[in-house]
Structure formats: C-alpha cells, structure tokens
Amino acid sequence: MGLHGVKAVFFDLDNTLIDTAAAGRRAIEEVIGALQSKHRYGEGEARAVCDKVQAKLLKECHDPAKMCITDLRISHWEEAIQETIGGEANRDLAAECYYLWKTTRLQHLTLAEDTRAMLTELRKSLRLLLLTNGDRQTQREKIEACACQPYFDAIVVGGEQKEEKPAPSIFHYCCDLLGVQPAECVMVGDSLDTDIQGGLNAGLKATVWINKAMTAPVDTSPVPHYIISSVMDLPAVLQKMEHNINAKLETDHMASSNEPH
C-alpha cells in the first residue's frame, strides 16, 4: 500500500476509533445512581434529568468566544434539573452531575488493543491523521484519555480551525499538513453528514462509512465509496482498493502497448 494512489488515511474519532456512545451510556448510569443514592431522587426523576441533558447535548450550539464548554454543560444540567424538579436553580448539584458524567465518560474511552495494532500496521506504509469535529477542550481531553496520539502523524480538531467537517477547507488543511493531495487520501468515519459528505466535498480518493448496524438507510445520502461494520474491516478495504488500482494500471499498460507507435 502507499505505492499507487493511497498515501494517507484520515480517521474520525468518536464512534469510529473509540466507542463514545457506550462511554456516554456508562456515565449517564453513574449519574442516575448518584442522584438516587445521594440526593434521594426517584429513578424516574433521575432518568428524566439525564434524558433532558442528552437532548440538550444533541442540539448544543457552542461559541467558545462567548462561554467555555464547562459552563455551558453545567447549565445543561442546571436547566434539566429545574425543568424536572422545579424550584430554585441548583448550580452546585448541576456541577456535581456534570463532573461525574464527564470523568466517568473519559474513564471509559479506550482505544482497543486490536485497533492500536491495526493503526501501527497501517502506519508502516501510510500517513495517518486524526480528524475530529468538536470543541477544542472536549476533544483534546478525549484524545488524552484514550492515549491515541502516538498512532498518528497529525491530529486536527475542528474547534481549533476556521471550519469543521464537512467543509472542504479542513480536509485540504489536513492534506497540506501531510504533504499529500486530496486524491491520495481516504476518509474513515461513522457520520454521513460530516465524514462522508466532507470527504466527497474535498475530492478525496475514497470515503469509508462505518455503519455498525449494517442496516442500510432507505436512501443513503451522501453515498460512501465503501461501507464497513467496524474500523477493523478497513485494511481489507484498502487492500481491495490497492488491487483495483493495480488491475487498472495493468489494463492501461496493456492498452497503451497495443496501440500503434
């Protein structure tokens, strides 16, 4: 690999290399337990608070120039508690919930052993780059927690750039960092909207969508070049691409040698 065509692979972080969703579920259960045992909440109330927070996280619009992510997320908990229980705003309890949620989530963010081995192997012949959207502080904490820095030639966090995925600019910035052309790069990620659309917008050689459920949406849009159920299936896809490139080169070579000189 790396001889023809593909020189670099860009990886998304959340739910691609690490299971952020599972870590988040563990963190929520931890907070539910604490609200019940320590603060005498009923299970229904505790779950309602956590459901509201998760809804707020999904819709979150964060402007780091106006507020740090910590204050914003403590406010999510504060509002959720007040919406569920009523009464006075309880900033202290909100902060306690937030920090418990955050530390538990970070504790459970791990880069699996087989993923580490795969990245180590790929890096022998390809440049690897981590490209993640999100707030600078949040994403840097996750990167630190799962200790993935040694496996990459470069790490790019959307919150530190002018634009995030799917904007072509961030992908072209990544190409410049590695000294490669967009047509020599592959994007791997779990989000059709940011990873796949972004890779297509930027004119990358290929996009690989990680669809854990492997149940195809009715109309997959945008259309990825490849679909896999786990990041561990990536080497096989890259080999297939290499095989296709070699086969095409051979065909082109035969066609040109058959032409009259």
In a domain, 2, yes or no: no
Query: Which pLDDT score, from 0 to 100, does residue 217 have?
Result: 65
Query: Which pLDDT score, from 0 to 100, does residue 215 have?
Result: 75
**Do residues 77 and 194 share a domain?**
no
Backbone angles phi, psi at 186, to 5 degrees: -125, 135
In a domain, 120, yes or no: yes
Query: Which pLDDT score, from 0 to 100, does residue 1 have?
Result: 45
CA torsion sign for 235, 241, 247, 253 is negative
Q: Of 108, 132, 161, which residue constitutes the final position of a domain?
A: 108
In a domain, 1, yes or no: no
Q: Which residues of the chain have pLDDT under 50?
A: 1-3
**Do residues 120 and 243 share a domain?**
yes
3-state secondary structure of 158: helix
The total number of structural domains that make up the chain: 2
In a domain, 3, yes or no: no
Does an H or E element contain 203, and which?
none
How many Cβ atoms from other residues are within 10 Å of residue 137's Cβ?
A: 14
- Residues 6 or more apart in contact with residue 56 via CB below 8 angstroms: 76, 79, 80
**235 token code pair:** 């080497």
What is the CATH classification number for the domain harbouring 38? 1.20.120.710
Q: Of 48, 82, 108, which residue constitutes the final position of a domain?
A: 108
Query: Which pLDDT score, from 0 to 100, does residue 27 have?
Result: 98
The whole domain housing 191 covers 8-19+112-257
In a domain, 77, yes or no: yes
Burial (CB < 10 A; 0-12, 13-18, 19+), residue 14, is buried
Prior bond to 235 cis, omega within 30? no
**Do residues 85 and 173 share a domain?**
no
**134 token code pair:** 């999100």
**Do residues 96 and 126 share a domain?**
no
**Do residues 206 and 143 share a domain?**
yes
**Residue 26 near residue 104 (C-beta atoms within 8 A):** yes
**138 token code pair:** 């949040």
Backbone angles phi, psi at 205, to 5 degrees: -60, -45
In a domain, 230, yes or no: yes
What is the CATH classification number for the domain harbouring 252? 3.40.50.1000
Quick one: which of 170, 169, 167 has its CA closest to 193? Answer: 167
**Do residues 93 and 192 share a domain?**
no
Query: Which pLDDT score, from 0 to 100, does residue 260 have?
Result: 52
**Do residues 134 and 80 share a domain?**
no
In a domain, 131, yes or no: yes
In our burial notation (b when 16+ CB lie closer than 10 A, e otherwise), range 146-161 reads bebeebbeebbbbbeb
Q: Of 81, 108, 135, which residue constitutes the final position of a domain?
A: 108
Prior bond to 222 cis, omega within 30? yes
**Do residues 104 and 132 share a domain?**
no
**Do residues 205 and 170 share a domain?**
yes
Query: Cα 151–153–158 angle (5° rounding)?
Result: 100
**171 token code pair:** 């992908």
**Do residues 138 and 181 share a domain?**
yes
